[in-house]
Amino acid sequence: MDYMDIDFKIPVESDEYVADSARVVEEIEAIIANSIANDKNKIIINTNLKLGLPLENINKIAGPMVEAWAFETFSDINEDPNNPYHLINVEAQQRLGMADVVLQFKKDNSFITGSVDVKATSYDIKSSGKGPNITSFSRIRTAYIDDPDFMFIILSLKHKVLSVKNTQSLLMDGIMEIVDFNAYDIKFLSDNDINYNPALGTGQIQIKDIHYVTYQYRTTWEFCQLLDAKYLRSSRRTIEDWYREATKNKWIKN
């Protein structure tokens, strides 16, 4: 069996996709930047710990808390129907879903939908943000077949954590502060920025370093081919493995 001989379903995105993607990324970054500028970037954690939070292990709980902060930040904006970002809908996704939150922005008489995966990384730990799992190979490959205009945005939020004494309780409170951010469309990441880890199910798509990425514009079909190439280059995957997934998920014509 040869990959080039397969009768693929070839997804074709709309002509407006690149501009729509750029707008969604721009609006997301503007919302986060505004929150930081207006001192709405802190998560206060009240505890009864006299010595404060165990900062050496804080990353284990930072992810869900930063994700919750991002959802509330977007939801607060959405409550204003005249918000300057034209955000018209915010939906939280299931914990193990591919995205954490889905955002919709008004566009003329229609809307643009972006599925956002929030990644929390430590500002103080240099290795934080390197090689994070994003989603499974088969799940994201299928998403682009089901919807050629599927927009998957990675929102990287850097945080600092410190402990301060509560003047009333005399105990230590934790403050998790969002200090930096970066948002980008995964479809436009360079070949070198995307890794494939064969562990776990059909394998995980990873980003080499979430803080430093390079854009490389491509079509939806070109991105599907890139994902396939990453999969097939793994020593633990064969074209027969790929064909089984392709048949199961309807990536090829009958």
- Beta-bridge mates of residue 153: 116, 185
Alpha carbons 192 and 212: distance in angstroms, whole number: 11
Q: What are the sequence ranges of the domains in the chain?
A: 14-249
Return the SS3 of 195. Answer: strand
Residue 199 clears pLDDT 90, i.e. is over it: no
Q: What is the DSSP letter of 186?
A: G
Q: What does the pLDDT average to over 193-213?
A: 92
Options 3.40.600, 3.30.420, 3.40.50, 3.40.390; CATH for 14-249 is 3.40.600
Average pLDDT of the chain?
91
How crowded is residue 24: how many other Cβ atoms within 10 Å of its Cβ?
23
Tens digits of residue pLDDT in 68-109: 999 999 999 999 999 999 999 999 988 767 899 999 999 998
- With contact defined as beta carbons under 8 Å apart, do 161 and 53 qualify? yes
Let me know: does 159 contact 172? Beta carbons within 8 Å. Answer: no
Give dist(CA 120, CA 157) in Å, integer.
5
Taking the alpha carbons of 74, 80, 84, 89 in that order, is the dihedral positive or negative? Answer: positive
Rg of the chain over CA atoms, in angstroms?
20
Burial class of 75 by CB neighbour count within 10 A (0 to 12, 13 to 18, 19+): middle
SS3 label, residue 58: coil
Low-confidence winner among 139-143, 171-175, 240-244, 245-249 (lowest mean pLDDT): 171-175
**CA triple 227-229-232, angle to 5 deg:** 110
pLDDT 10s digits, 14-58 = 999 999 999 999 999 999 999 999 999 999 887 777 776 766 667
* β-strands 204-207, 194-197 pairing: antiparallel
Q: Are 190 and 216 in contact (CB under 8 A)?
A: yes
